[in-house]
Structure formats: structure tokens, C-alpha cells
Amino acid sequence: MQHKAISSQHLNSTARAHSSEIRAAMAALAVVFTIAILALCSAVVAAADPATADTRNFTIPSPRSTTTTAKGPVTYVFGDSMSDVGNNNYFPMSLAKSNYPWYGIDYPGRQATGRFTNGKTIGDYMADKFGVPSPPPFLSLSLARKDDVLGGVNFASGGAGILNETGVYFVQYLSFDEQITCFETVKKAMIAMVGKEAAEAAVNAALFQIGLGSNDYINNFLQPFMADGTTYTHDQFIRLLITTLDRQLKRLYGLGARKVVFNGLAPLGCIPSQRVHSTDGKCLGKVNAYAVKFNAAAQKLLDGMNAKLPGAQMALADCYSVVMELIEHPEKHGFTTAHTSCCNVDTEVGGLCLPNTRPCSDRSAFVFWDAYHTSDAANKVIADRLWAGMMASAGHGGGASAPPSVGASPAPAPFPSEDY
């Protein structure tokens, strides 16, 4: 018995030491790429030349009228691969890319654009509803052009998470902190172009859409080779996520963000890449419980910010209930399959629809496009449901002229499974 106790203690000590080594290595790698990203953001903003910018038609946004048709809100998008519209295409060494067939096969022009789906993202469909173009990827912009500076921008990057160490094995991507830094460069360009007062008013009136957290679980906490899963209990991990998110949202608030929609986590235990780890092919109840607990903590954080920060209008979008309905009752929305991916890549390394895979014959019948991402058809339904929830919360019957406001309903209990 004594020998076993010593061995166990030795193993625990070795595991802790190994975990520390992993975290140190990951941190060092993150620092290297953070420096590279900051240099890239600086290079983009350095291209701006305020002296040559056309500012004649810029006006300070005013409250939207309910009696006239007004242009939708300027939107800034932050997020991961569910929201990325091409930023990662600009990273030569990024391992999180989708700029190849079959991606984009149902997008206008049938070309891959860097979106991690066969067509449009949820954000694309939401932009349609707001009556504005889908914001372009930040890394495609020239900040010397008025339209690039004063219009909406998408900073989302495949592989990103709330934590800087999340997704580090994708090599090149924009973490949430780096995305905020890039937004800061946009605001500096705005100030140089139209003045501080007008820039501040424009940012205050804009809608900030944030979709992050999935990778912090799928590509961090739940991965055996990532240190966070062995270093923290789930309660400790939640506190780390929320503490970090608190700092990041306050940073955005300090930069002028007032209207913020944070997308709650979907039922992560039901995505194809997680189902394959169950013994019965059902959703992983334990992983869904993680998502429910995170969403509750995020809701509490946002409520606290609304109470403490003057002018803050921050809401949690209830993605969990919306996506769960598609999974439990796909037939209600015209789908036939919600347990596996159209490309049949649930067990493939990476889980993406590579050019050598063969997509399903009816792409509109599948909720999931690949092992991680929803299909174009599902994204449209999700956007429709989120929009309806926004309008109901705001007290409007619908229409693109309604103000950008979101209400969230409580997430249901995790999907039952023997693998809880």
C-alpha cells in the first residue's frame, strides 16, 4: 500500500510538472504570435492617410426613426470560425482555414471565401435582416478608405477563444484580445479621419456582435494535450473564462462599445465531433452541462455590466435553445439529419470537408455541414430564430428598421445521455 501511495504521488507530481511545461511552452508560442499579430494590425493602420481621406458624407448616427426606413446599424463582429468571413486566409501559416472546395459551394459565386460552411454564416444572414452588407474581414481592409473605416468590420478568426492560449496549435489566428487590438486600430483611423467626437458617436451607436467560447472547450479544456483541462476543475475554468471575458468586455466598453450581443454557447455535446465520443451516439450530456453553466455565468456577467456601466446595453443571445431545437426536432425546419455531418467527417482529423471528401447529395437536409460547423440552411434558420427573439424582446413585430436589441431566454436542461 505504501509503495502504491508513493507511486501515485510521484505520478501526480510528474503530471503537474508536465502540465506546467505545456503551459509555459504554449505561453511562449502565444507571445511570439501576439507580437506578429500586433505588428500586422499596426501595418494595416499605418496604411491610412487621413490627409487624403474623403470625409464629406460622414454624419453622426442619430436614433433610428420608427416612421422612416433607415439604414441598419454599423456592426463590428468578433468571434471564431462560426463568424470568420476570411481573416484567416491572410495568415500563410494558419492551420484553421477553409479556403478550398467544398466550402462556399452554396455561397454567391460558388467560391470559397474563408467561411467555415457551405454558404453564408449566421452573421451574414443577420446582416441581411439589418439591411446592411455583411462586414468584410479586417485584414482585407485599407484604412485609408472612408468606407473601410466607417463601415462595419469583421474581426472574427477561426480557432479564436476567450483565452489567449485557446487554439494556439492552429499557429496563426486572431485571439479575442488581438481582435480587440485590431478594432482599436480601426477607431484610431476613424478619429484621424473624422475627429474624436464623431468617431466616438459612431462607435457608441454601433452594434457589437461577439461569438466566442466554443473553442475554449472544444479545442482547449476538453483536449487531453492542452494544460487547462488538467490544471483546472470546471468551476475553476468557468471563473477563468468569465474573469477574462469581464476584462475584455470592459476594454471594449472603454473603446466606446455600448450595444453588445454575446452569443451564448450552443449545445456543444451534440455537435458531430463530440457525439462520436459517446457510447450510444447521443449527445454528451456532460459537455452540454458545461455550456449551460457557462451561459448562466455569462448572463450574470452581462447583467452586472449593464447595472454598473453607464449606457451599457449588453445581452446574451440564447443560441443553446435555438440549436437544440434543430437537433431534437430537425423535421420541423425541413431537415432530415442532425446527428452527423453532411461531409461525413465526424471522425476525421480536423473534421473539415476537405476537397477529397464527398458532401451529401442534399446539403439543405443537414443541420451540420462538417464536424463542427452548421450548414448554410441551418444558419438561416438560426438567424431567423435569433432575429425573432430580438424583435420580441424589443417589442417590435419585425422589420430591418427595428433597433438592435436582444433578449435571451433561459437555456433548457442538457440533452440526456448515458455519457453524462
Q: Are 122 and 383 in contact (CB under 8 A)?
A: yes
CA dist list (Å): 37 to 90, 220, 340: 11, 21, 35
For the sheet with 313-317, list strands across it: 153-154, 75-79, 207-211, 259-263, 313-317
Which one of the listed residues 373, 376, 417, 419 is annotated catalytic? 373
Q: Are 290 and 217 in contact (CB under 8 A)?
A: yes
Q: Are 360 and 105 in contact (CB under 8 A)?
A: no
Kindly provide the b/e burial profile for residues 303-337, where b requires at least 16 CB atoms within 10 angstroms of the residue's own CB: eebeeebeebbbbbbbbbbbbbbbbeebeebebee
Which one of the listed residues 81, 83, 175, 273 is annotated catalytic? 81
Which one of the listed residues 177, 370, 376, 419 is annotated catalytic? 370
Give dist(CA 329, CA 223) in Å, integer: 30
CA dist list (Å): 173 to 129, 152, 155, 377, 397: 29, 20, 10, 27, 39
To the query of whether residue 373 is one of the catalytic residues in this protein, the response is yes
Give dist(CA 299, CA 297) in Å, integer: 5
To the query of whether residue 81 is one of the catalytic residues in this protein, the response is yes
Catalytic residues: 81, 370, 373
